[in-house]
Amino acid sequence: MKYYEDIIIRPYITERTNEQAMLGRYTFMVDKKATKIEIKQAVEKLFSVKVLKVNVMHYQGKEKRVGVHLGRTASFKKAVVTIDTDPKPETYLDKGGKIKTVAKKYKTSIEEFGVTPH
């Protein structure tokens, strides 16, 4: 298994991702070999949030030219992670038939991303 710090490379910050971050959708550049499950576990452990959904996209490098020299930019994998902005307490039945309620200690935003929701 990979380390969580190796899966999440850095946040992917644009105007669009800043608007989506206010709605609970955060975008990260991730390791090319990481799966959705590994990305979900890494975000939950590193940022103490509850992940609802993970969408991934593969970007191929573009061909760039400087004078007569031709090269390619680096390819990368981008993940859009939707977090739970309103965590509800879980309820279940105890052995005696009593209803127990457990409130989870999740954050509702990722402060390290630099955007806080309304």
Boundaries of every domain in the chain: 4-104
pLDDT computed for residue 86 by the predictor = 79
Show pLDDT as tens, one digit a residue, over the chain (118 residues): 579 999 999 999 999 999 998 898 999 999 999 999 999 999 999 998 899 999 999 999 999 999 999 999 999 999 999 998 877 777 778 888 888 877 777 777 787 666 555 5
CA 10 to CA 86: how far, in whole Å? 25
Looking at 3.40.50.150, 3.40.640.10, 3.30.70.330, 3.40.50.620, the CATH number of the domain 4-104 comes to 3.30.70.330
Average pLDDT, the chain: 88
Quick check: 100 and 91 in contact, CB under 8 A?
yes
